[in-house]
């Protein structure tokens, strides 16, 4: 752990980094920023009790070491001012320029965003969003420097905070550092995280390394002098050193190989840094000459750089000691890239604004040169200025939601759930009431206000929303919700109009009549027709007018034939009181008699006529006396009747037979009747002029089927030529 948490230490580090890059002229404005930040943070202390300014100063020093420009260094010094003090964007802009103010603003946004998430699946999204939120890559680099310093001073935090911060570092910052090629930063972030997240294993490894330090150093010194002696002898200018691999990588090896640290062999790595690429391959030859090559471990990342632009030659060899070790050979340029990644390629642009095309030159080059799948992943996370088509926002609970750029709270609401969208009455963005058509920005926390009494989406929303998802769901709502409303409303006015006109509604559900009516109305089904009335595309008056004639005609013809089938159809589940086997609709108890004219039996379609003083007279529906029952003024006296389901009760009925007169005919009819085992009540013959006669047969049957069997038998008698129900 660092013990040099003093103003002087960080100030000197910063100054040294600037001197190295000949930026000393900028020291004056940097001094100004230090004074400004110190003044703003004067009432704040670090957790360890030291003045707050030490933190931004340390971050600025790290940023300077990354190789970033003066604007980024100034922004690093001021990075907590907007978040923690009364300094505003415009204050900073007027003192240090708009670019610096924007960088600080960007860092503030990342600071406010909640990147802690327990969902593994969200991590990649979080990382993407982190990048997307930072239009300027310098913002990400300052934020990484900020996190690095906070990690270095983690011992002053509470244990709970240590764990949550380290978790976040492993989930977000270390992978980002890796993607950006900042290997050195990544290692440090990982090692500090491991120390707090898995302290036992961390201690095991560091204790082992400490115990073996002398041994390790002796070994590494031997190898290092073997290498440098040889290279000096052949005249290759180089810097070489050995190191123990970082703690977290040892931990990972132990985990993946299920080994104890004693069993791991490749803990050592040597670096040889030279001036040119030909020197790299030269060195490789000498290494392979000095030591024994471990087959299959040579990798040429110079001709094929890693997706994060890392370049080096890697080879693993074994010396006389029998201990394998890795040798990495690279140029100084490659070394800078390996340590600081994208930051190493930062082009200092005097006076020009950040975030321009040029800023991403390196990234672009990378995107063009890398084609493998690993690169795809990298490209995904590095799209920075290519994220124009996406915006990432949070739910109040910290869930990340990805939407098309320019999306509004409406899009957000429908992305959460269509129910949320349909019940939306307003929205809060970053805890402030916002218009539902406001454009959302990366990192916004969006809360949708809903109400049970919300009237649902408005048609305007279709023009406001940016996502297809929202548009589809809003359209669905109009189709479904509004249609229901329209159908109900339309049906009510249609039925009211039918009642007013005195037309029966029953025909609209009559399977035979209904299609004809719909044809007249030019609709495929009644729902559509009702919906049209509901919308106001058709008035109920007009609709009824169009079908009035058709209904009247249908009622007339039904009176002659079939309509009674509808009338007499038993209503399921209804168990009303019947009299003489007949139920009268709407009248619970009344006298029932069967009309002599047609003598109906169960199975016949029937209709009831309210007589004056004799109760209800039941006719067959096709009885001529019932033909005009739908017409005024008598219509009101006709009632709907139906048969009760009583199969065993006998009903009296009458058949008239037309015959050609002959002797013995009466006997033949009587014989048929007696063999049919029905109760014969009356059998009369009457001679007509011209050798014809009419027989009247009155008998009892249980239903119309029985009656038809007897009728057929009678018609089979020779000289019986016709038959008729009832009595004329
Ligand atoms: Mn900070």
Provide the residue ranges of all domains of the chain, joining segments of one domain with +: 2-182, 206-340, 388-480, 482-562, 582-643, 651-725
Q: Which of 26, 84, 266, 333 is catalytic?
A: 84
* 3 state SS of 506: helix
Give, for 433, the enclosing helix (H) or strand (E).
strand 432-434
* Mean pLDDT over the full length of the chain: 81
Q: What integer pLDDT is reported at residue 351 of this predicted model? A: 32
Residues 6+ apart with CB under 8 A from 137: 342, 359, 360, 363, 384
Is 700 a known active-site residue?
Answer: no
Separation of 139 CA from ligand 1 center, angstroms? 12
Supply the pLDDT for residue 565. Answer: 42
Q: Residue 717 has which token pair?
A: 């008698």
Q: Which helix (H) or strand (E) holds 507?
A: none
How many whole angstroms from 59 Cα to the centroid of ligand 1?
A: 8
Give the lowest-confidence range in 307-311, 520-524, 710-714: 307-311
DSSP structure string for 88-149: -HHHHHHHH-HHHHHHHHHHHHHHHS----S-TTHHHHHHHHHHHH-SSHHHHHHHHHHHHH
Q: Which CATH class is domain 2-182?
A: mainly alpha
- Quick check: do 388-480 and 651-725 share a fold? no
Question: 3-state DSSP call for residue 503?
Answer: coil
Helix (H, G, I), strand (E, B) or coil at 11: helix
Environment class of 399 (CB within 10 Å of its CB; exposed 0-12, middle 13-18, buried 19+):
middle
What φ, ψ does residue 426 adopt, rounded to 5°?
175, 180
Highest mean pLDDT among 401-405, 562-566, 720-724: 720-724
* SS3 (DSSP) at 265: coil
pLDDT at residue 577, as a whole number: 65
Residue in 521, 555, 517, 565 with CA at minimum distance from that of residue 539: 521
Residues whose CB is less than 8 angstroms from the CB of residue 181 and which lie 6 or more positions away in sequence, other chains included: 308, 309, 310, 337, 338, 340, 341, 342, 344
Give the pLDDT of residue 125: 58
Ligand 1 geometric centre to CA of 222 (Å): 43
What is the C-alpha to C-alpha distance for residues 166 and 104, in angstroms, rounded to an integer?
Answer: 24
Q: Position of tokens 């809903």? A: 450
Residue from 83, 211, 687, 708 carrying the catalytic annotation: 83
Which of 571, 573, 581 has its CA nearest to residue 651? 581
Residues lying with their CB under 5 A of ligand 1, a single-atom ion:
80, 146
Strand partners, 658: 694, 722
Against a cut of 0.95, is the pTM above it? Answer: no
Task: Answer yes or no: is pLDDT of 337 > 50.
Answer: yes
**DSSP conformation letters of 572-631:** TT-----BTTEEETT-SS--EEE-TTT---BTB-EEEEE-SSS-EEEEETT-GGGTTTTS
Residue 86 token pair: 């009364």
417-431 pLDDT tens trace: 988 999 999 999 888
Phi, psi dihedral angles at 581 (to 5 degrees): 80, 10
377 is catalytic: no
Q: What is the pLDDT of residues 315-335, one digit of tens each?
A: 989 888 888 899 999 999 888
Q: Kindly state which CATH superfamily the domain 651-725 is placed in.
A: ACT domain (3.30.70.260)
Distance CA 403, CA 399 (A): 13
3-class state of residue 245 by DSSP? coil
Q: Under CATH, which number does the domain 206-340 receive? A: 3.30.460.10
**CATH class of the domain at 388-480:** alpha beta
Distance of CA 58 from the midpoint of ligand 1 (Å): 10
**Ligand 1 geometric centre to CA of 168 (Å):** 15
Nearest to 312 by CA among 332, 290, 292: 332
What pLDDT, in 10s, does the model give residues 410-420? Answer: 999 999 998 89
Q: Cα of 146 to ligand 1 centre, how many Å?
A: 5
Is pLDDT above 70 for 375?
A: no
pLDDT in tens, 222-276: 999 999 999 999 999 999 999 988 999 999 988 888 888 888 877 889 999 999 9
């Amino acid at each position: 752990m660092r013990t040099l948490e003093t103003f002087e230490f960080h100030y000197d580090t910063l100054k040294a980094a600037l001197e190295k890059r000949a930026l000393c002229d900028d020291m004056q404005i940097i001094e100004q920023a230090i004074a400004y930040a110190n003044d703003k943070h004067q009432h704040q202390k670090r957790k360890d009790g030291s003045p707050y300014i030490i933190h931004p100063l340390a971050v600025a020093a790290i940023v300077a070491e990354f190789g970033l420009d003066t604007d980024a260094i100034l922004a690093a010094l001021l990075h907590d001012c907007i978040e923690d003090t009364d300094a505003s964007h415009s204050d900073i802009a007027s003192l240090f320029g708009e670019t610096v103010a924007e960088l600080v603003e960007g860092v503030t946004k990342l600071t406010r965003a909640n990147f802690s998430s327990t969902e593994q699946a969200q991590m990649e999204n979080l990382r993407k969003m982190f990048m997307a939120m930072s239009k300027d890559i310098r913002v990400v680099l300052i934020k990484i420097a900020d996190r690095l310093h906070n990690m270095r001073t983690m011992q002053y935090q509470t244990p709970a905070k240590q764990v949550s911060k380290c978790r976040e570092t492993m989930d977000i910052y270390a992978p980002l550092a890796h993607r950006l090629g900042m290997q050195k930063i990544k290692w440090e972030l990982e090692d500090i995280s491991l120390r707090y997240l898995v302290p036992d294993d961390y201690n095991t490894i560091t204790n082992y390394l400490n115990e073996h330090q002398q041994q390790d150093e002796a070994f590494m010194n031997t190898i290092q002098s073997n290498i440098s002696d040889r290279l000096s002898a052949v005249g290759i200018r180089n810097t070489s050193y050995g190191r123990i691999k970082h703690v977290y990588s040892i931990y990972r090896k132990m985990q993946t190989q299920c080994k104890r640290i004693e069993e791991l062999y490749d803990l050592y790595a040597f670096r040889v840094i030279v001036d040119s690429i030909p020197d790299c391959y030269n060195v490789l030859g000498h290494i392979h000459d000095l030591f024994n090559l471990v087959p299959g471990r040579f990798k040429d990342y110079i001709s094929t750089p890693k997706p994060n632009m890392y370049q080096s030659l890697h080879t693993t060899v074994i010396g006389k000691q029998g201990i394998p070790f890795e040798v990495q050979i690279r140029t100084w340029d490659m070394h800078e890239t390996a340590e600081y990644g994208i930051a190493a390629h930062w082009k200092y642009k005097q006076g020009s604004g950040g975030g321009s095309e040029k800023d991403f030159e390196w990234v672009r080059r990378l995107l063009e040169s890398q084609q493998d799948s690993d690169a795809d992943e990298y490209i995904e996370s590095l799209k920075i200025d290519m994220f124009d088509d996406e915006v990432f926002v949070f739910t109040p609970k910290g869930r990340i939601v990805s939407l098309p750029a320019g999306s509004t709270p409406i899009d957000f609401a429908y992305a959460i759930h269509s129910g949320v969208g349909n019940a939306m009455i307003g929205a809060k963005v970053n805890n402030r009431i916002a218009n539902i058509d406001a454009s959302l920005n990366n990192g916004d926390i969006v809360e949708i206000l809903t109400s049970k009494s919300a009237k649902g989406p408005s048609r305007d929303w279709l023009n406001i929303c940016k996502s297809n998802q929202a548009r589809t769901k809003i359209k669905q709502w109009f189709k479904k919700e509004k249609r229901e409303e329209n159908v109900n409303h339309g049906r009510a006015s249609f039925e009211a109009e039918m009642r007013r006109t005195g037309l029966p509604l029953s025909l609209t559900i009559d399977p035979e009549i209904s299609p004809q009516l719909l044809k007249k109305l030019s609709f495929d089904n009644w729902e559509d027709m009702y919906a049209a009335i509901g919308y106001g595309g058709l008035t109920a008056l007009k609709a009824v007018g169009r079908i009035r004639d058709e209904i009247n005609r249908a009622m007339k013809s039904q009176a002659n034939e079939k309509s009674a089938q509808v009338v007499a159809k038993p209503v399921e589940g209804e168990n009303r009181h019947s009299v003489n086997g007949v139920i009268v609709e709407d009248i619970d108890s009344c006298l029932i008699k069967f009309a002599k004219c047609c003598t109906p039996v169960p199975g016949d379609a029937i209709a009831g006529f309210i007589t004056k003083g004799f109760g209800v007279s039941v006719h067959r529906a096709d009885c001529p006396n019932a033909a005009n029952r739908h017409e005024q003024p008598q219509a009101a006296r006709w009632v709907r009747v139906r048969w009760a389901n009583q199969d065993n009760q006998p009903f009296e009925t009458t058949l008239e037979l037309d015959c050609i007169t002959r002797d013995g005919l009466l006997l033949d009819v009587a014989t048929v009747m007696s063999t049919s085992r029905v109760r014969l009540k009356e059998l009369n013959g009457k001679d007509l002029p011209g050798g014809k006669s009419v027989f009247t047969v009155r008998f009892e049957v249980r239903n119309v089927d029985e009656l038809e069997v007897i009728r057929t038998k009678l018609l089979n008698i020779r000289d019986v030529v016709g038959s008729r129900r009832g009595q004329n």
